[in-house]
């Protein structure tokens, strides 16, 4: 019989996250050098010892990460219907044209929240890039993506 030099024991568990939306998986593995163990019962004791350690770790409450904030889902058709104004004429602009609206316009709050949560407060939702403008960030600007890439 070949000489056993190491023993590896692994155990895991799968459980539901607190918000019940995803599964959490944990798996641990321990390895022991058993070169000096000669008796079969010594090997069994080492296995049981490793397994008990793993069971102890897995009986602790699951480590949960804070849930990512749920960002609102935007309906681009609704965003397009907001009263976007042309920069030069201050008149309603056509779909696909650059424009602006006040941040507090009814229906613009979800868009404003997404812009705030975006890196550098620039949000790309094709076909536009949205950002804040004005000294007090009182406007939401939209620019067609083609223009922002120049």
Q: Which domain holds residue 131?
A: 76-148
Tokens of 115: 């812009």
Look-up of token digits 């692994």: 10
55 and 91 co-located in one domain: no
pLDDT attached to residue 147: 54
84 & 52 share domain = no
What separation in angstroms does the CA of 6 have from each of 10, 31, 47, 56, 57?
13, 7, 11, 22, 21
**Sign of the CA dihedral 65, 69, 75, 76?**
negative
**Cα–Cα nearest to 118, from 130, 106, 127:** 130
**Do 6 and 34 touch, CB atoms closer than 8 A?**
yes
With 0.85 as the threshold, say if the pTM is over it: no
Give me the pLDDT at residue 108, please.
Answer: 93
Same domain, 48 and 104: no
- Helix/strand number for the chain, H first, E second: 4, 6
pLDDT score, position 98: 95
Please provide the distance, in angstroms rounded to a whole number, between the alpha carbons at the two ends of the chain: 72
Assess whether 101 and 52 both reside in one domain.
no
Model pLDDT, residue 62: 62
Q: pLDDT tens for residues 52-82?
A: 998 888 888 765 545 545 555 778 889 999 9
Tell me if 67 is assigned to some domain: no
Shared domain for 45 and 82, answered yes or no, is no
Residues of the chain with pLDDT under 50: 65, 68, 150
pLDDT digits (tens, 9 = 90+) for 122-135: 998 889 999 999 99
């Amino acid at each position: 019989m070949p000489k056993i030099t190491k023993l590896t024991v692994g155990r895991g568990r799968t459980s539901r996250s607190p918000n019940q939306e995803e599964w959490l998986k944990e798996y641990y593995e321990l390895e022991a050098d058993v070169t000096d163990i000669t008796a079969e019962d010594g090997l069994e004791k080492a296995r049981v010892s490793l397994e008990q350690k793993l069971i102890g770790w897995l009986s602790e409450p699951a480590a949960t990460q804070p849930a990512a904030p749920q960002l609102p889902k935007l309906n681009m058709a609704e965003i397009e219907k907001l009263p976007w104004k042309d920069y030069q004429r201050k008149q309603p602009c056509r779909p696909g044209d650059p424009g602006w609206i006040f941040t507090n316009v009814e229906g613009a709050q979800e868009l404003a929240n997404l812009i705030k949560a975006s890196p550098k407060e620039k949000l790309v939702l094709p076909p536009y890039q949205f950002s804040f403008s004005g000294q007090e960030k009182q406007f939401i600007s939209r620019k067609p993506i083609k223009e922002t890439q120049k």
